[in-house]
Structure 1
């Protein structure tokens, strides 16, 4: 006996309230952008500058003890991570301690650095400070611009790919869905003031890939059914295609969320922001592939004079049950 996440004869009407779903999505995007422009993002050290201290000691790095020692100094934004390298000696334990710049200063003051080093020596007397590097606000500002360009180029590449793979209506629907996902992810980071650093940019690019994959699976089935049912109404074809791929969509989303929730609970502070962004991205990406991308395609319409046979579909496992 197989576990079935959805019925074989599933026949939900996803477009009976498509205007309502698009309206809700539009309002959420406006709220997200409004939050971004009004209160901005809580930028991490990567984007606002700071000082990085590389430490080395013979005893194992206790990240918690390091964090507690520095917390007493009230340094503000600090990030501590252990560095692993197979080339290290058995008695070589390396950590990176990053202290955020305050009041737009180019770097952390010498007095602050000395206080941080003294606090770390109290935890690990044999600790050595191998290097100290500072990143100023100017370099951090360039990182913000580069990150924004990276996300924009990724979405632009998706537009071209979908346009060539399908039709321009499909491409526009997919890109609007991606912009929707990225905007809502940035918005929730702005609303909750969660630390926004380079790891979140990596999460945004990953969300773009995940959401695109989900959308392409649905669009591939739509194209198959448009060729197979040439006289059916576009709304019927879209509903049929989404229902046929629903099992695959649910399985992919649930298994991904299970892994992400485990990391969110057990992964620690270092990756929590990245995992939270991915968790949120999977939820909104799954939603947008159905209620945004497909709804936009329904509004734009699509030509029905495809006489060539369908290519080998990428959704041959779309109706597989768990």
Structure 2
């Protein structure tokens, strides 16, 4: 009888690999510390030489966003618009095609509308009576690009536009949002938009710009509030992840996860500081995405570490932890590698904000994979030894006369009261034993002898 053929599968990381993650852990931590110092140093250098630690986008630094429609058949490419904006002197400007809208371009510049208090007062006076509608309330957010007008009856939008334009506030009126029964008109100023449209007409020919679809401005105060909200979202994410890891695993695992995530966030921000790429709300979204991706990878590693420590509690914890890291190495590399291929495609084929988003993800995936293997687990080992003195690995839970089990064993696992071992461990041990030896019952269970409990090792004190 011929021996059945053995099917072999492709292995990126050969089985039996024993890379010394734990033995050289302090070297890797030193590399991370150096990278963190470089990132922080780049931000300090930028703040000293350029006035800002990061190249904040319109969302944070303030600026204007203009949506322009070209005349049909103008054949103006987005790349031509970007080149024209650079020529006009709009530093850090961007232009992207509007999806599902032919011949429309969305332009972002850092310039804001500058309107004096005298002109605002003149526009308010011009809007007091529009036809039969009488102005009840007028509001202009400081540094903003909109007026919010509340009337007692519904005014004609074209009449509002004519009245305000005559007072020197060119813009577009539209229905606003308010409480039930309130009549609110939202008036968007097009100062910057009108200027850009005029410059594009001069560059590409009169009549190239058909009309301005929308023009908005974010003031410096709003940008500062968005900075605070972005930082707060990161802190909330890290705090809830800390609680999750603490409940899901053990308190000693949580610090390693949080240190790894903080390390990832700092290095991604440092990459933006070094390359002077625009840091916007999309970048904050990328950071939160990276935090979620990285903790997922770290959770997989922690789960294998906990499993290995519970099964091999008599071996040194550094040895079992290193074995666990090697067990997950193939999965970690394959998962991160396939994700990285997709993000690289987005980076090379995309443009504008999408490309910056992809850049953040590329850096985040690389440093997140690194931190899951080289940062999170060594921190766990340090916390376990420094604050817990390895309790839960070589020592037993339970007082004298009570059933004991490893503290890092799965919660709720069935434990043999005589051996202190989980039933899963017992069954794993007997899988290779012969039924004829009598050590195994016909239903596959082991006849457990009433052996004397392993004595509890003396405490350090």
Match of 1:73 in 2: 88
Matched, 1:187 2:187: no
Distance 1:140 1:251 in 2: 40
- Between Structure 1 and Structure 2, the one with more helix by share is 1
Query: Secondary structure at the residue paired with 1:72?
Result: helix
Distance 1:50 1:102 in 2: 5
Q: Give the CA deviation at 1:257.
A: 1.4
Q: Give the CA deviation at 1:268.
A: 2.1
Q: Give the CA deviation at 1:234.
A: 1.0
Distance 1:210 1:104 in 2: 42
Q: Give the CA deviation at 1:127.
A: 2.1
Q: Give the CA deviation at 1:236.
A: 1.0
Query: Secondary structure at the residue paired with 2:288?
Result: helix
Tell me the C-alpha RMSD between the 2 structures: 2.6
Match of 2:175 in 1: none
Q: How does 1:160-171 map to 2 (within 5 A)?
A: 160-171=243-254
Distance 1:294 1:283 in 2: 17
Distance 2:296 2:225 in 1: 30
Q: Give the CA deviation at 1:136.
A: 0.9
Matched, 1:198 2:213: no
Distance 2:229 2:90 in 1: 28
Deviations 1:129-158 (CA, angstroms, capped at 9, x unpaired)? 022211111101111111010111111111
Cα separation, partners in 2 of 1:198 and 1:262, compared to 1, 3 Å: same
Cα separation, partners in 2 of 1:310 and 1:227, compared to 1, 3 Å: farther
Deviation larger for 12-21 or 144-153 = 12-21
Distance 1:116 1:103 in 2: 12
Deviation larger for 263-272 or 46-55 = 263-272
- Which is greater in Rg? 2
Match of 2:290 among 207, 218, 221: 207
Deviations 1:14-59 (CA, angstroms, capped at 9, x unpaired)? 1222112112212221232232234211111111111111223445
Match of 2:68 among 39, 50, 55: 55
Q: Give the CA deviation at 1:166.
A: 0.6
Cα separation, partners in 2 of 1:237 and 1:311, compared to 1, 3 Å: farther
Distance 2:67 2:362 in 1: 31
Deviation larger for 76-85 or 56-65 = 56-65
Distance 1:211 1:61 in 2: 42
Cα separation, partners in 2 of 1:157 and 1:309, compared to 1, 3 Å: closer
Q: Give the CA deviation at 1:74.
A: 1.3
Match of 2:433 in 1: none
Which ranges of structure 1 fall in alignment gaps of 5 or more residues?
313-322
Matched, 1:120 2:178: no
Cα separation, partners in 2 of 1:130 and 1:10, compared to 1, 3 Å: same
Cα separation, partners in 2 of 1:4 and 1:99, compared to 1, 3 Å: same
Greater RCO (Cα-Cα under 8 Å, separation 6 or more): 1
CA contact (8 A) 1:61 1:95 kept: no
Match of 2:21 in 1: 14
Distance 1:4 1:262 in 2: 25
Distance 2:255 2:244 in 1: 11
Match of 1:315 in 2: none
Query: Secondary structure at the residue paired with 2:109?
Result: strand
Q: Give the CA deviation at 1:119.
A: 3.4
CA contact (8 A) 1:35 1:187 kept: yes
Query: Secondary structure at the residue paired with 1:76?
Result: coil
Distance 1:103 1:180 in 2: 39
Question: Aligned residues, how many?
Answer: 307
Match of 1:317 in 2: none
Deviation larger for 278-287 or 298-307 = 298-307
